[in-house]
Amino acid sequence: MKSLMKACVLSMAMLMLMCGAAGADEFKAQGSALVAGIDHRYVSVLDFYATSLRLSNITGEPVQCKVTVFNHNGEDITSYGHVLTGGSSDLQVILGGTGTFDIPPYSSRIYELKSSTLKQSVTGYAIVEWTSDNSKLRKALIGVITRLRVRPADASTSQTERDINNGQPF
């Protein structure tokens, strides 16, 4: 009986350690914003709408950002995105298939759903979260959601933008 109790106590202790280790990898957000209006339309390679989130770190501290995108069925489609840096003429993909990335101090990054990987139409929303090594930091990001329509067949493009969190830092 004594050895059975020791085995139960040992099993419970191991279970608690494993649960604690699993929780250690959780993203502990210091700030967040909900982004409505994710609208990605894929007709073909020559006709699509793409949605991107343009996020800027307004602090002197590096922050880690996490974007999670949900489709019309509530499924996580974050892995269809890419993270970019650079200006409009020299954009560079720095990460693909993830929504977690670093934004250096006073810098900007773009999270974009790519039509070349997400060959379906999606309506949904996103959650943007951030964290920093500076636990006193309260607001670090500003951003916009951009919707770009591309139709190379007739050489037309159009773009709309709107502020995330009404343009207020979060």
Q: Where are the beta strands (DSSP E) in the chain?
A: 31-44, 47-57, 63-70, 81-85, 92-96, 100-103, 108-113, 122-131, 141-151, 156-163
Predicted confidence at residue 148, as pLDDT, reads: 84
Q: Which of 60, 34, 40 is nearest to 143 (CA)?
A: 34
- Residue for token pair 């995108």: 69
Q: pLDDT confidence of 155, banded at 50, 70, 90?
A: confident
DSSP conformation class of 116: T
Q: What is the mean pLDDT of residues 85-105?
A: 91
Mean pLDDT of the chain: 83
State which residues form the domain around 52.
31-167
Residue 55 lies in a domain: yes
pLDDT at res. 115:
62
pTM of the model: 0.78
Question: 24: burial class by Cβ within 10 Å (0-12, 13-18, 19+)?
Answer: exposed
Q: What is the pLDDT of residue 158?
A: 79
Contact indicator for 112, 148 with CB cutoff of 8 Å: no
- What pLDDT, on a 0 to 100 scale, did the predictor assign at position 49? 78
Q: How many domains does the chain have?
A: 1
Q: Has residue 80 been placed in a domain?
A: yes
Could you tell me if residue 48 is inside a domain? yes
pLDDT in tens, 24-81: 458 899 999 999 999 888 777 777 778 899 999 999 999 999 999 999 999 999 999 9
pLDDT at 7: 43
- Calculate the alpha carbon distances from 62 to 44, 103, 140, 168, 170 in Å: 38, 6, 9, 19, 15
Question: How far is 56 from 140, CA to CA, in rounded Å?
Answer: 8
- 72: domain CATH number is 2.60.290.11
